[in-house]
Amino acid sequence: MFKKLLVANRGTIAIRIIRACRELGIPTIAIYSTADKDALHVKMADESVCIGPAAAEDSYLNIPAIISTVLTYGADAVHPGYGFLSENGDFAEACRRSGVNFVGPAARHIRLMGDKPRARRIMARHGVPVLPGSEGKGVVELRDAQASARKLGYPILIKAAAGGGGKGMRIVRNDTELARFFPLARAESEAAFGSRTMYLEKYLERARHVEFQILADNYRNLIHLGERDCSIQRRHQKVLEEAPCPVLTPKLRERMGKAAVRAAKVVGYSNVGTIEFLLAPDGEFYFIEMNTRIQVEHGVTEMVTGIDLVKESIRLAMGEKLRFTQRQVTYSGAAIECRVYAEDPDTHLPSPGVVTNHHQPGGLGVRVETALYDGYQVPVHYDPLVAKLIVHAENRALAVARAKAALREYVIDGIRTNIPLHLRILADADFQRGDYGTDFLRRFEPAPVPVEAPRVAGRAS
């Protein structure tokens, strides 16, 4: 058993990890920035240490400050959660070099999957389907992107090789858009990830985002825990997720599950991870990336499998063997997660401020993971995800009804949230039928201003 675990994160996931540690009997240390001195994760941990000012680079992303806190306070394990340093190979390596257990995969797996063109190449080589895309190590110059585009044909999605969180991504539908948006996407990637390397992928229209949860120990035992449908997205960022995916047949689930297991196995992966696929309307599916950490939406998988993924990730990092075989994993009912963001529901601009009145819903099958409390000041500095409402019921229709009832009961006064958007999604007839793809939320957005390709006489576009 670990002696003491440092939680290298904040917000809902820090609280989630602290709860898992309490059940396992592992004392915790919270770290926090000066902006987070009153945060719930700080109050809940056994010890807490201020590691720097509000700016994430100086606090939650400050590897030397975190490692020295780990060593000074005698922790023997670090859980990175999601976001911040969770997919930073240097951080995983710094932990291991300092003799500290990193709750996650090896640094080499983080680095490999963090290099998306490389991950694509490895998957393709091992028979895991990928979408047609630019070949090689990535594309930096516009002329190379244009050469790739000529081979691929439009529509194309420009992506950042080091991407994450939908940053550096642009859909382009013609040469003009490519010339205009490639440099913008590259600049966004440089600002967010310090990398100008991009790659292109054929853009799949009306696809669904279907991802498989992986669980693996250090002894080459590797299973999946079924899928999540995360197609309800805004600007390529997930908003609402559900398990199971409403359109997967048992046969397709088995094929995709096998491909996910193969994808993680060929690289010798261990701990928790997620293989993300796009599922085309014709039933074909394609690997898009692997996330080498716990996901925001892990809760829906926990509800339908009954397996606590955060506790499992800690056990696996302690060197325990996987406690289930693939056949022992069973699924029950349907679960839906609504990500509650502190943002204006119309403009999507962040809405920081003081929570003046807070009531969270409850009852059978209702789970709330929140960082909010009465009087809490939501800071401006970080991701606006402030709560996750997760519901579970015997079937999807009952889960939708339960999610609606719970959202109507939810009171978060003082700040704006996207709860009204969730209610609109849940009330939508197509959503209720399970008939949606990654473009679903566009119907709730004002129409974008189109970029017209210049008409060139005699040339087909």
Residue 164 contacts ligand ADP per CB under 6 A: yes
Near ligand ADP by CB under 6 A: residue from 14, 17, 75, 131:
131
Least Å distance, CB 154 to ligand ADP, is: 12
293 in active site: yes
Least Å distance, CB 410 to ligand ADP, is: 26
Question: For ligand ADP, which is the closer residue by CB, 219 or 444?
Answer: 444
Near ligand ADP by CB under 6 A: residue from 15, 51, 288, 340:
288
Pair of tokens at residue 438: 């990654």
Which DSSP letter does residue 440 get? Answer: G
Exactly one of 208, 253, 293, 416 is catalytic; name it: 293
Least Å distance, CB 291 to ligand ADP, is: 8
DSSP 3-state of 444: helix
The residue among 164, 282, 298, 167 whose CA lies nearest residue 228 is 298
Q: Could you give the CA distance from residue 279 to residue 50 in angstroms, rounded to a whole number?
A: 44
Question: Where would I find the beta strands (DSSP E) of 235-384?
Answer: 237-243, 271-279, 285-291, 334-341, 353-354, 357-359, 366-370, 377-378
Least Å distance, CB 132 to ligand ADP, is: 9
Stretch that binds ligand ADP, among 7-15, 25-33, 164-172, 442-450 (CB under 6 A): 164-172
**Residues ≥6 apart with Cβ < 8 Å to 71:** 98, 100
Residue 296 contacts ligand ADP per CB under 6 A: no
State the binding string over 322-361 for ligand ADP (x if CB under 6 A, else -): ----------------------------------------
Residue 441 vs residues 25, 261, 333, 408, 438: alpha-carbon distances, Å: 42, 30, 25, 21, 8
Least Å distance, CB 53 to ligand ADP, is: 27
Stretch that binds ligand ADP, among 8-16, 160-168, 173-181, 354-362 (CB under 6 A): 160-168
Query: C-alpha angle with apex 449: 445 to 451, nearest 5 degrees?
Result: 135
Near ligand ADP by CB under 6 A: residue from 217, 241, 276, 302:
276
Question: For ligand ADP, which is the closer residue by CB, 288 or 336?
Answer: 288
Question: For ligand ADP, which is the closer residue by CB, 201 or 227?
Answer: 201
Question: Are the C-beta atoms of residues 15 and 66 closer than 8 Å to each other?
Answer: no
Per CB under 6 A, contacts with ligand ADP among 181-220 are 201, 203-204, 207, 209
Residue 177 contacts ligand ADP per CB under 6 A: no
Question: Are the C-beta atoms of residues 245 and 229 closer than 8 Å to each other?
Answer: yes
Question: For ligand ADP, which is the closer residue by CB, 217 or 242?
Answer: 242
Q: Could you give the CA distance from residue 367 to residue 192 in angstroms, rounded to a whole number?
A: 33
Residue 293 contacts ligand ADP per CB under 6 A: no
Q: Could you give the CA distance from residue 107 to residue 113 in angstroms, rounded to a whole number?
A: 10
Question: For ligand ADP, which is the closer residue by CB, 267 or 288?
Answer: 288
By the 10 Å C-beta count (0-12 exposed, 13-18 middle, 19+ buried), 274 is classed as: buried
The residue among 214, 207, 221, 380 whose CA lies nearest residue 298 is 214
Question: Where would I find the beta strands (DSSP E) of 350-440?
Answer: 353-354, 357-359, 366-370, 377-378, 385-393, 411-413
- C-alpha gyration radius of the chain: 22
Least Å distance, CB 414 to ligand ADP, is: 30
Q: Could you give the CA distance from residue 98 to residue 151 in angstroms, rounded to a whole number?
A: 48
Least Å distance, CB 161 to ligand ADP, is: 11
Question: For ligand ADP, which is the closer residue by CB, 122 or 131?
Answer: 131
Residue 148 contacts ligand ADP per CB under 6 A: no
Catalytic residue numbers, as ranges: 293
Query: Which residues would be at the binding site for ligand ADP (CB under 6 A)?
Result: 131, 157, 163-166, 169, 201, 203-204, 207, 209, 233, 236, 276, 278, 288-289, 438
